[in-house]
């Protein structure tokens, strides 16, 4: 009897060689599903994966009400990155790498710490470590090298809610820069806390924009970093170009969020604060994120260009 696996015939005698990898994968899934979450298990359950999916909060406008509502796209993108190089993975020489067990043991210890400290995020990072280190042990470095980025990319699916500590500083920074831009455009506004108000600069002011937590830019920052990471991996010609573009995702996301605040401020002056805070406020994020993506692509093209060749011409 012959079966086919990844386009190649799989003999019946080859099935025993698949037993141990299948057993390891099954035990790993059970480990993180049965004993992955000990933080408020009564509310979220014992599964680290279920906890992660529930924290994505996939509902509402802008593809979700949470800062990590893009999380469900991350495993799909990671799986695609592996699938697109499936032929190369099949042809690579495979040899068991004993010292890769250090990464396996390290990931298991990290999971143990996550359970004891009731930090589910540590367990999820440990799970990502096992997803990469187990193939490393079974098939060697050549395979592990190609799986490194797709597995590391899964970190963007982990809700790193401690980044919320950056919310308040980002709100102040966005407000400060937006006020500076609006003043430069001839609009008399002032910053009070994280709010932007117009004359007479008190509670009676008709122009009042509150840069709240959702306007801090954390959501667009995390999503933009994930998108730029994939684009850099697929499109950039060298590692330094990829890293340069990836780090540029931070100012790109911040610039897009400031542009959103400034545009709402302009609408408030031209029409009314209540009108600007309605549909334009809710849906401006789509336009701004699209602009950030456009700037990312243009910057990637510039980084990939061979400027030395152009100078010779």
Domain boundary among 159, 176, 208: 159
What is the band of 62 on the pLDDT scale with cuts at 50, 70, 90? Answer: very low
Question: 284 and 297 in one domain?
Answer: yes
pTM value?
0.78
CA dist., res. 206 & res. 198, Å (int): 7
Question: 174 and 145 in one domain?
Answer: no
* Residue pair 300/246 in contact by the 8 Å Cβ criterion: no
CA dist., res. 156 & res. 225, Å (int): 9
Domain boundary among 159, 192, 223: 159
Q: What is the pLDDT of residue 6?
A: 44
Report the 10 Å Cβ neighbour count for 63: 16
Q: What is the mean pLDDT of the chain?
A: 78
Question: 171 and 117 in one domain?
Answer: no
CA dist., res. 139 & res. 149, Å (int): 17
Q: What is the pLDDT of residue 230?
A: 94
Is pLDDT above 50 for 69?
A: yes
For residues 228-238, average pLDDT: 92
Could you read off the pLDDT of 247-289 as tens digits, one per residue?
Answer: 998 888 888 778 877 877 777 776 665 555 555 555 566 677 7
* Of the listed ranges 13-17, 106-110, 213-217, the one predicted with least confidence: 13-17
Question: 8 and 155 in one domain?
Answer: yes
Domain that holds residue 307: 164-312
* Residue pair 238/303 in contact by the 8 Å Cβ criterion: no
Question: 189 and 152 in one domain?
Answer: no
* Of the listed ranges 144-153, 158-167, 208-217, 302-311, the one predicted with least confidence: 208-217
Rounded to the nearest angstrom, the gap between the alpha carbon of residue 118 and the centroid of all alpha carbons in its chain is 23
Question: 141 and 82 in one domain?
Answer: yes
What is the band of 10 on the pLDDT scale with cuts at 50, 70, 90? Answer: very low
CA dist., res. 293 & res. 296, Å (int): 5
Domain boundary among 159, 181, 205: 159
Q: What is the pLDDT of residue 1?
A: 36
Is pLDDT above 80 for 313?
A: no
Question: 90 and 71 in one domain?
Answer: yes
Q: What is the pLDDT of residue 216?
A: 55
Question: 121 and 170 in one domain?
Answer: no
Question: 230 and 150 in one domain?
Answer: no
Question: 151 and 13 in one domain?
Answer: yes
Structure token pair of residue 287: 């336009």
CA dist., res. 56 & res. 141, Å (int): 33
Rounded to the nearest angstrom, the gap between the alpha carbon of residue 1 and the centroid of all alpha carbons in its chain is 45
* Of the listed ranges 65-74, 102-111, 124-133, 276-285, the one predicted with least confidence: 276-285
Question: Of residues 229 and 177, which shows the higher confidence score?
Answer: 229
What is the band of 301 on the pLDDT scale with cuts at 50, 70, 90? Answer: very high
CA dist., res. 44 & res. 159, Å (int): 14
Burial annotation 50-59 (CB, 10 A radius, 16+ → b, else e): ebbbbbbeee
Question: 113 and 246 in one domain?
Answer: no
Question: 31 and 118 in one domain?
Answer: yes
Is pLDDT above 60 for 13?
A: no
Could you read off the pLDDT of 146-173 as tens digits, one per residue?
Answer: 999 999 999 998 887 666 666 677 777 8
Nearest to 106 by CA among 125, 93, 88: 125
* Residue pair 84/4 in contact by the 8 Å Cβ criterion: no
Instruction: Output the furthest CA–CA distance in the chain (Å, rounded).
Output: 85
Report the 10 Å Cβ neighbour count for 302: 11
74: left (phi over 0), alpha (psi -120 to 50) or beta: alpha
Phi and psi torsions of 297, nearest 5°? -65, -45
Q: What is the pLDDT of residue 271?
A: 66
Helix locations, the chain, DSSP H: 15-34, 41-44, 48-56, 73-83, 86-91, 101-116, 120-139, 141-152, 167-184, 218-235, 239-270, 273-276, 279-304, 307-312
Between 15-34 and 120-139, two packed helices, what is the crossing angle to 10 degrees?
170
Strand partners, 81: none
CA dist., res. 221 & res. 227, Å (int): 10
% of the chain beyond a pLDDT of 70: 73
**Block residue for tokens 């029409």:** 271
What's the domain count of the chain? 2
Strand partners, 3: 10
Question: Of residues 95 and 278, which shows the higher confidence score?
Answer: 95
Element (H, E) at 190: strand 190-192
Question: Of residues 216 and 229, which shows the higher confidence score?
Answer: 229
């Amino acid at each position: 009897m012959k079966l086919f696996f990844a386009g190649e015939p799989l003999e019946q005698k080859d099935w025993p060689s698949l037993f141990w990898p299948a057993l390891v994968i099954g035990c790993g899934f059970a480990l993180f599903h049965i004993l992955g979450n000990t933080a408020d298990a009564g509310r979220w359950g014992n599964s680290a994966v279920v906890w992660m999916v529930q924290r994505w909060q996939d509902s509402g406008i802008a593809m979700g009400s949470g800062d990590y509502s893009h999380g469900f796209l991350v495993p799909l993108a990671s799986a695609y990155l592996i699938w697109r190089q499936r032929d190369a993975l099949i042809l690579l020489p495979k040899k068991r790498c004993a010292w890769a067990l250090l990464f396996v043991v390290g990931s298991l210890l990290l999971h143990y710490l996550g359970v004891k400290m009731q930090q589910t995020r540590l367990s999820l990072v440990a799970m990502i470590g096992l997803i990469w280190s187990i193939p490393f042990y079974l098939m060697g470095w050549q395979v592990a090298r190609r799986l490194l980025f797709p597995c590391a990319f899964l970190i963007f699916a982990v809700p790193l809610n401690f980044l919320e500590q950056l919310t308040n500083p980002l709100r102040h920074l966005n407000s400060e820069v937006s006020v500076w831009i609006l003043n430069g455009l001839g609009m008399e506004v002032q910053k009070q806390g994280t709010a932007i108000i117009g004359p007479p600069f008190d509670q009676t002011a008709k122009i009042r924009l509150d840069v709240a937590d959702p306007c801090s830019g954390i959501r667009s920052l995390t999503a933009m970093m994930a998108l730029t990471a994939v684009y850099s991996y697929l499109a950039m010609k060298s590692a330094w170009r990829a890293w340069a573009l990836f780090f540029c995702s931070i100012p790109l996301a911040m610039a897009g969020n400031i542009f959103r605040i400034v545009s709402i401020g302009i609408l408030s002056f031209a029409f009314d604060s209540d009108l600007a805070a309605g549909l334009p406020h809710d849906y401006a994020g789509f336009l701004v994120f699209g602009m950030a993506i456009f700037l990312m692509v243009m910057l990637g093209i510039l980084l990939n260009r061979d400027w030395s060749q152009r100078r010779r011409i």
